């Protein structure tokens, strides 16, 4: 077998192995999300579950350069969860990554907890930006990308937005700035699940076509299945750390992914499962120690 074929085979085997590990971790994260929100009695399960695979690939697929023992490491990559209401997924990922003790996950939204309903970078290790006011995260990421360039670092900045959030005009001001300054160290990922709190995005105030809009603003655009872990791994690991222009990944996802009765149901945007619903969801997801 030619050496190049051997190399390709080894890479495929490595990717398959990593993808399997990421999928297992995503299952664990989804269970954490449901347990946390169920315990809190409030929260946003739909968008947390739709973004889980994306976050799992970033943190457990060897994509993000971070150090859980040194959350403020200057050379780290940054992640801005612009759709801050999906914080339970980020908290679960950060805890499993080792940024803080998993034992505090059940304190979500409780008074005095570092795990509030939206991320707070002053209180939660691993959170790079306080978010929650929709439409602002990409602007924060643009500032970070500019700052790392001025500091002479090759750090990359990721911003995760919701598709409903793309109705906000500030998103497009930030996109214009990112293109103007040729921020090749910036990656915007759109969690494209088609639903927002008031209903289908296309009916509330359609920002479509999102991919064409980002392209028209000068971004290099990729459209992917946001639940295809192998596909996400291939794409994310192939992106340049500092190319000629900013990148946008439009990830097609399913609101509530992983819990059958929540999938594609707008009612689960900001509603906590209780009683029998909570039992059903956790039963469907399986036990963490079985992963």
Render 137-148 in DSSP notation, one character per residue.
HHHHHHHHHHHH
Q: Give me the CATH code for the 3-290 domain, please.
A: 3.40.50.970
Cα gap 237→18, rounded to integer Å? 12
The pLDDT score that the predictor gives to residue 291 is 41
Residues in CB range of 1: below 8 A, 6 or more apart: 9
The pLDDT score that the predictor gives to residue 10 is 77
Q: Which residues of 256-271 are buried (b: 16+ CB within 10 A; e: fewer)?
A: bbbbeebbbebebbbb
The pLDDT score that the predictor gives to residue 290 is 44
* 54 backbone dihedrals φ, ψ, rounded to 5°: -65, -50
Q: What is the pTM of this model?
A: 0.95
Q: Read off the DSSP letter of residue 168.
A: S
The pLDDT score that the predictor gives to residue 286 is 87
Residues of the chain with pLDDT under 70: 1-7, 287-291
* 261 backbone dihedrals φ, ψ, rounded to 5°: -75, -10
Burial of 281 (0-12, 13-18, 19+ CB in 10 A): buried
The pLDDT score that the predictor gives to residue 50 is 98
Q: Where are the domains of the chain?
A: 3-290
Residues in CB range of 8: below 8 A, 6 or more apart: none
Cα gap 287→291, rounded to integer Å? 7
The pLDDT score that the predictor gives to residue 12 is 86
Cα gap 19→13, rounded to integer Å? 10
Cα gap 190→253, rounded to integer Å? 9
């Amino acid at each position: 077998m030619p050496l190049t074929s051997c190399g390709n085979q080894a890479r495929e085997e490595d990717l398959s192995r990593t993808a399997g590990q990421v999928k297992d971790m995503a299952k664990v994260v989804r269970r954490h999300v449901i347990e946390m929100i169920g315990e809190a009695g409030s929260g946003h399960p739909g968008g947390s579950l739709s973004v889980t695979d994306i976050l799992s690939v970033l943190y457990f697929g060897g994509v993000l350069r971070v150090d859980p023992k040194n959350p403020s490491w200057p050379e780290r990559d940054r992640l801005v969860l612009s759709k801050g209401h999906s914080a339970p997924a980020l908290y679960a990922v950060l805890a499993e990554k080792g940024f803080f003790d998993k034992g505090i996950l059940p304190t979500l939204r409780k008074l005095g907890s570092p795990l509030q309903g939206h991320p707070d970078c002053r209180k939660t290790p691993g959170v790079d930006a306080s978010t929650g006011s929709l439409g602002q995260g990409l602007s924060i990421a643009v500032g970070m990308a500019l700052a790392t360039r001025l500091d002479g670092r090759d750090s990359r900045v990721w911003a995760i937005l919701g598709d409903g959030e793309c109705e906000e005009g500030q998103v497009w001001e930030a996109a214009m700035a990112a293109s103007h300054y040729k921020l090749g160290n910036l990656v915007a990922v759109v969690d494209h699940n088609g639903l927002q709190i008031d209903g289908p995005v296309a009916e509330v105030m359609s920002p479509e076509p999102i991919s064409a809009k980002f392209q028209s603003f000068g971004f290099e655009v990729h459209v992917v299945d946001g639940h295809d872990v192998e596909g996400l791994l291939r794409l994310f690991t192939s992106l340049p750390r500092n190319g000629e222009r900013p990148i946008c990944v439009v990830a097609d996802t399913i609101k509530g992914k992983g819990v059958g009765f929540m999938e594609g149901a707008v009612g689960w945007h900001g509603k906590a499962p209780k009683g029998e619903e909570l039992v059903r969801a956790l039963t469907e997801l399986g036990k963490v120690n079985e992963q």
